[in-house]
Structure formats: C-alpha cells, structure tokens
Amino acid sequence: MPPPRVELRAVSKTYRDQGQPVEVLHQVSLAAETGTVTALLGRSGCGKTTLLNLAGAMDFASSGEVLIDGRSTASLNEGELTALRRRRVGFVFQFFQLLPTLTVLENVELPLLLARTPKARDTARDRLCWVGLEEKAASLPYQLSGGQMQRVAIARALVHSPDVLIADEPTGNLDTASGDQVLALIRESAARFGATVLMATHSAEAAAIAGIRVHLRDGRIQTIERA
Ligand SMILES: Nc1ncnc2c1ncn2[C@@H]1O[C@H](COP(=O)(O)OP(=O)(O)OP(=O)(O)O)[C@@H](O)[C@H]1O
Ligand SMILES: [Mg+2]
C-alpha cells in the first residue's frame, strides 16, 4: 500500500472566540489513503470543516502535524503553499462557490489560468464533458440547477487533476437524484484520477460511497470504520 498522501498526527485546533481560546479538535490522528474516499461524519459542530481546512492546507494546526506527501504544511513557505493549494488540492463546497459573472467553462478553466497551465481551455472542456455538461459551457451559473452547479464545481476542482479532493457536504443542497450523480463523480475522482478524497457529510448516501468512515464527536475520533 502506498504511503498516505494526507496524514494528521495528533492534531489539535484552537480557535479564539471573543478572545477566549476554544479547542475544537483534540489530538486527531488520521491517514487518508490514495484512491480512497474517506468520509467524516458526526454532528454539526464536531469539527469536520475544521479538519478539512487543515487537510487542504487552508488553515494550520495549533499543535500536532498535518502532512501532505510527508511534508508538514506548517513548514511550507507562502510560495509553496500557494502552489500546493492551486495545483495539488481541489475543493468542493456545499454552496458550490461558482463565480457568477464567469461562464461555466470559464469557471472550470480559472484554476488552470491562475496556475499558468498550458492548454487550459481544452482541459476545462474535457472535464466539463466528463461531468456531462459540455452543452452548458457558455451558460452562466444562475442558469443551472443546483445539481448542475455542483457538477461544474467538481469539474473545476478536478481540472488540474489534484492529488487531494476536499469535499465539504457536497450533496447538502441537492435532491437525491442530483446528489447521486455528484456522489458518482466523487467516487470516480478517487477511482479514475487516483485522488485522495476527504468528504464531510451528514448524508447516509454520501457516507455509503466511502471506503473509510471516520466518526467524530466533539472534536475527537470516536471510531474509524472500513467499508
Ligand atoms: N473561525 C472560527 N472561529 C471560532 N470558532 C470556530 C471557527 N470555525 C469553527 N468554529 C467552531 O469550531 C467548532 C467546529 O466547527 P466546524 O465548522 O468544524 O464543525 P462541522 O462539524 O463542520 O459542523 P457542520 O456539520 O455544522 O458543518 C464549532 O463549535 C464552531 O463554532
Ligand atoms: Mg461543516
């Protein structure tokens, strides 16, 4: 088995709330495997989004270490962090976060333009085909259904073939049929692109596609269950 691409070692996270420190993750250790969907489950406020932000190098642990490919995210300089976030990690959110004034194709292309990747438009089109929305390339986000918006967001997240895909309640705003389509794409991201997927969810359907299910409670891992 290859070494885990994303690993948390005894990670704690403390936020400041009105000046008072509040620890919301306590000594969490977890290894997310390559080509596997790892689901983070647990009640609202248990720390799922906090953990995802750490795993995607958007935020840093208060103690302990987050390793991506064996390197601690806290040890990277600004340039290395930017490169990591832009090229190696893809993000999918509950509220899609598409840019409203860009077309569907431009939304998908944007990460490649920022990373100055050649053939950006061709790759963006290819990903749009993959999510079955090539005919919506010239549409604006408001002209799409929620399910279609999330498929565009997935195309965008995967446009640079990231090693790590972070999905925070990707089906939270979708009906069952749209949610199922999105979950099929997320599962395929792991299977076909070999992405290491970390997904926070409240949905049993979403949890069912995961190879590993991590149950969190009050910022601690309660159980880790393999499918
Ligand atoms: N930036 C912040 N500053 C202060 N406290 C925060 C911050 N972000 C989150 N918290 C607190 O940390 C705890 C964990 O929040 P988190 O968003 O990780 O939970 P969650 O499991 O994702 O919940 P949900 O299922 O509702 O999305 C909560 O008590 C929350 O209020
Ligand atoms: Mg959350």
Residue 227: per-residue pLDDT: 87
pLDDT above 80: residue 11: yes
12 pLDDT higher than 80: yes
- State the pLDDT at residue 4: 76
Q: What is the pLDDT of residue 1?
A: 63
Q: Is the pLDDT of residue 212 over 70?
A: yes
For the chain, percent of residues with pLDDT exceeding 90: 88
User: Is 80 exceeded by the pLDDT of residue 214?
Assistant: yes
Average model confidence (pLDDT) across the chain: 94
45 Cβ below 6 A of ligand 1 = yes
Q: Any idea where the domains of the chain sit in the sequence? A: 32-52+77-226
Alpha helical stretches, state H, the chain: 48-55, 78-83, 104-114, 120-130, 146-157, 176-193, 204-208
Write out pLDDT tens, residues 89-126.
999 999 889 999 999 999 999 999 988 999 999 999 99
Interval 15-44 mean pLDDT:
95
pLDDT tens-digit map of 140-161: 999 999 999 999 999 999 998 8
Beta partners for 37? 197
Determine which residue's CA is closest to atom 10 belonging to ligand 1. 15
Q: 53: CA distance to ligand 2 center in Å?
A: 10
* Nearest residue to 34 via CA among 8, 5, 64, 12: 5
pLDDT digits (tens, 9 = 90+) for 37-55: 999 999 999 999 999 999 9
Of residues 176 and 4, more confidently modeled: 176
pTM assigned to the model: 0.94
Is there an atom of ligand 1 within 6 Å of 95 CB?
Answer: no
83 pLDDT higher than 70: yes
Window from 83-87, 163-167, 196-200 with minimum mean pLDDT: 83-87
User: pLDDT category, 86, cuts 50, 70, 90?
Assistant: confident
Ligand 1 centroid to Cα of residue 192, in Å, is: 32
| H or E segment to which residue 7 belongs | strand 6-17
The mean per-residue pLDDT over the stretch 134-138 comes to: 97
Pocket of ligand 1 contains residue 48 by CB under 6 Å: yes
User: Which residues, chain by chain, have CB under 5 Å from ion ligand 2?
Assistant: 48-49
Measured in degrees and rounded to the nearest 5, phi and psi for residue 70 equal: 80, 0
Residue 164: is it exposed, middle or buried by C-beta count within 10 angstroms (0-12/13-18/19+)?
buried
Q: Which CATH number fits domain 32-52+77-226: 3.40.120.10, 3.40.50.2300, 3.40.50.300, 3.40.50.920?
A: 3.40.50.300
